[in-house]
């Protein structure tokens, strides 16, 4: 399983101390189906081209956009593309994803897509989010692999979980905690922390204003365990986001060059 660290250009220098495989978060889609790029270091070469959908207009010319993506891949030596789309699929986006997968496949490159876009391109690699708040983590991966025809056709979206649930959490939705909020809460409560085998995450409870809270979170060990699980099942790749894990990078990446989760 190949491990990638998603970084913006300004983060690349620090991230390079720990990792050599990057998804370069420097691209977005502009008006008239153009590919817009942030300032990249001249020596940036290899890894993946990562496209975000912030302020993304409709894709009116998929062929033009696909051609621009391929030119940039050739120029920078990218081995594939990561589509970091947060919005749900629309007709124009699905057409773009389908055509981009065909173009990349012809040049022996990979396309990684959100799980929700899986039907748009059967040859692309959907990302399965590791941050779950209910059910069973192993079962989640097994079901996703069965639906796609094997774990080798999937990748892990390793999101660092920090979520505060007010009990009873009937909707299964909690309040995301920032890094500062989480550590302030830990310092104030000094809680007893437990590990959930089903969720592959740590948790603790606390009471405030006569209401019970359940906090679910990841640390380096739980993320490594999720990576080991995915690797053992045969997942093709995994992605970590630099801002989420910058404080635990030494624990996530081995200095000897070997995969830390092997």
DSSP letters along 46-107, please?
A: SSEEEEE-TTPPP-S-HHHHHHHHHHHHHHHT--EEEEE--SPP-HHHHHHHHHHHHHHHHT
Q: Is 135 left (phi over 0), alpha (psi -120 to 50) or beta?
A: left
Whole-structure pTM value: 0.94
CA angle 56, 106, 149 (to 5 degrees): 80
Top pLDDT among 262 and 109 is at 109
Asked if 92 and 79 count as a contact pair (C-beta separation under 8 A), the reply is no
pLDDT digits (tens, 9 = 90+) for 121-131: 999 999 999 99
For range 35-50, the mean pLDDT: 92
The span from the CA of 216 to the CA of 199, in Å, is: 9
Q: Which residues contact 136 (CB under 8 A, 6 or more apart)?
A: 198, 199
Top pLDDT among 65 and 256 is at 65
pLDDT digits (tens, 9 = 90+) for 224-241: 999 999 999 999 999 999
Q: Where exactly are the structural domains of the chain?
A: 2-160+219-252, 163-216
For range 234-251, the mean pLDDT: 96
Q: Is the pLDDT of residue 92 over 90?
A: yes
Top pLDDT among 209 and 65 is at 65
Residue-level pLDDT at 173? 82
The beta strand positions in 162-210, using DSSP E, are 162-166, 175-176, 194-196, 201-208
Q: Which residues contact 140 (CB under 8 A, 6 or more apart)?
A: 128, 132
| Residue 34 φ/ψ, nearest 5 degrees | -100, 155
Asked if 234 and 205 count as a contact pair (C-beta separation under 8 A), the reply is no
Residue-level pLDDT at 258? 60
For range 48-73, the mean pLDDT: 97
Asked if 59 and 33 count as a contact pair (C-beta separation under 8 A), the reply is yes
Mean residue pLDDT across the chain: 94
Residue-level pLDDT at 262? 59
Domain 163-216 CATH (choose: 3.90.1150.10, 3.10.50.10, 3.90.79.10, 3.30.70.120): 3.10.50.10
Residue-level pLDDT at 256? 53
CATH of domain 2-160+219-252: 3.20.20.80
The span from the CA of 258 to the CA of 249, in Å, is: 14
pLDDT digits (tens, 9 = 90+) for 158-198: 999 999 999 887 777 899 999 999 999 999 999 999 999 99
Q: Is the pLDDT of residue 111 over 90?
A: yes
Q: Is the pLDDT of residue 45 over 90?
A: yes
Structural element, H or E, at residue 22: strand 22-30
């Amino acid at each position: 399983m190949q491990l990638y660290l998603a970084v913006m250009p300004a983060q690349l220098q620090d991230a390079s101390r720990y990792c050599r495989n990057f998804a370069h978060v420097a691209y977005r889609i502009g008006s008239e189906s153009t590919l817009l790029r942030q300032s990249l270091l001249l020596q940036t070469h290899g890894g993946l081209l990562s496209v975000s959908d912030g302020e993304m207009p409709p894709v009116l010319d998929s062929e033009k956009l696909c051609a621009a993506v391929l030119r940039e891949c050739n120029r920078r030596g990218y081995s594939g593309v990561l589509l970091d789309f947060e919005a749900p699929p629309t007709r124009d986006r699905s057409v773009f994803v389908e055509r981009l997968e065909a173009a990349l496949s012809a040049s022996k490159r990979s396309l990684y897509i959100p799980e929700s876009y899986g039907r748009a391109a059967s040859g692309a690699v959907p990302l399965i989010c590791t941050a779950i708040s209910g059910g069973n983590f192993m079962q989640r991966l097994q079901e996703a692999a069965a639906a796609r025809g094997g774990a080798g056709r999937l990748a892990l979206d390793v999101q660092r979980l920090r979520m505060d649930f007010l009990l009873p959490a009937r909707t299964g939705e909690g309040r995301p905690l920032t890094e500062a909020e989480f550590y302030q809460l830990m310092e104030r409560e000094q809680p007893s922390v437990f590990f959930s085998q089903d969720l592959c995450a740590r948790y603790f409870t606390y009471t405030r204003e006569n209401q019970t809270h359940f906090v679910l979170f990841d640390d380096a060990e739980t993320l490594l365990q999720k990576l080991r699980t995915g690797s053992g099942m045969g997942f093709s790749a995994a992605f970590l986001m630099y801002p989420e894990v910058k404080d635990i990078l030494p624990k996530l990446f081995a200095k000897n060059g070997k995969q830390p989760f092997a």
